[in-house]
Amino acid sequence: MNQRKPAIVAEHLTRRFGTFLAVDRVSFRVYEGEIFGFLGANGAGKTTVIRMLCGLLAPSDGNAWTAGFNVRTQVEQIKQHIGYMSQKFSLYEDLTVRENLAFYGGLYHLRRDQIQQKKQQLFQQLELAAFETTLARDLPLGFKQRLALSCALLHDPPVLFLDEPTSGVDPRARRDFWGLIQSLARSGKTIFVTTHFMEEAEYCHRVAIMHEGKIVAMDTPETLKARSRKSSMQQVFVSLIQQQLTES
């Protein structure tokens, strides 16, 4: 994987909120076409990292580059080269699926014919065609997530950030969603995904485990399990966190 070009680079990335140290000098690289999982309990610092990488939050110290652009000085360029799907469903519930896509296409300055072409592609890929005229608020939760993913992909970004994308959906919908993520990675897109579901780490090429703002482990799921002599990423995570608590 490390023979590929890095799509995301973080160097000693740090964020403070007053006296609270939310992210503590994290460094890593994510490569083109990689599914990189950012794992940790709620409050570990995952969302803060993702917001800095998206240019939504300035670092207190350190630096980072996303899609080749600096998070401090090239925020507008970053926004044009990433797709971002937040934890909470943030689309317009009073608009239909089609209207949401048209609205977001306008935000990305896409022409009407470009929106139409991309819509047809996404409808086929994400199986949304049957819901084209359905209000977003009336969609099943799994399909709300698919609509949010469609809007994030509308401008065909090379890097996709997914912040807890399967939170609240049933196990079958989660599996289906991860199938979509894997398909996107095979097409060459870089996927940076945060999750607190440890079993989802098995779908990632590499994972980083966060605890209290620090990366406490980073490698492939297979290597982390072998190193810890554990059979699942859930067991790996519990063992690592217990070790951190013992040492602190």
Mean pLDDT estimate for the chain: 92
Share above pLDDT 90 across residues of the chain, in percent, rounded to a whole number:
75
Angle, helix 97-107 to helix 112-126, in steps of 10 degrees: 130
Tell whether 127 is covered by a domain.
yes
- Asked if the structure places residue 135 within a domain, the reply is yes
Kindly state the average pLDDT of the residues 143-168. Answer: 91
Give me the pLDDT at residue 197, please: 84
pLDDT at 168 over 80: no
- The residues pairing with 160 across neighbouring beta strands, listed in sequence order, are 83, 191
Confidence of residue 2 (pLDDT cuts 50, 70, 90): low
> What's the pLDDT band for 41 if we cut at 50, 70, 90?
confident
Residue 22 inside a domain? The answer is no
DSSP H helical segments within the chain, as ranges? 46-53, 75-80, 97-107, 112-126, 141-153, 171-186, 221-228, 233-247
Is the pLDDT confidence value at 21 over 90? yes
Rounded Cα gap, residues 213 and 192, in angstroms: 17
- Whether the per-residue pLDDT at 112 is higher than 80: the answer is yes
pLDDT in tens, 114-124: 999 999 999 98
Quote the number of domains for the chain. Answer: 1
Phi, psi for 5 (deg, rounded to 5): -75, 135
On whether residue 61 sits in a domain, the answer given is no
Residue 25 within any structural domain of the chain: no
pLDDT band, residue 213 (cuts 50/70/90): very high
Q: What's the pLDDT score for residue 248?
A: 67
Q: What torsion do the CA atoms of 104, 109, 112, 114 make, to the nearest 10 degrees?
A: -90
For residue 1, pLDDT beyond 60:
no
Q: What is the pLDDT of residues 89-109, one digit of tens each?
A: 678 999 999 999 999 999 889
**Residue 100 three-state SS:** helix
Range of the domain at 128: 34-51+80-247
Residue 50's pLDDT is: 94
Round to whole Å and give the CA distance between 36 and 126.
21
- Summarize pLDDT for 46-70 with one digit per residue, the tens: 999 999 999 999 999 999 999 999 9
Within a domain: 20 = no
Distances 10 to 29, 109, 183 between C-alpha atoms, Å: 6, 29, 26
Q: Could you give the CA distance from residue 145 to residue 138 in angstroms, rounded to a whole number?
A: 12
* 72-93 pLDDT tens trace: 999 999 999 999 998 776 789 9
CATH number reported for the structural domain that contains residue 108 in this entry: 3.40.50.300
d(CA 50, CA 159): 12
Is 6 among the domain residues?
no
In a domain, 221, yes or no: yes
**Contacts (Cβ under 8 Å, ≥6 apart) of 153:** 83, 118, 122, 160, 184
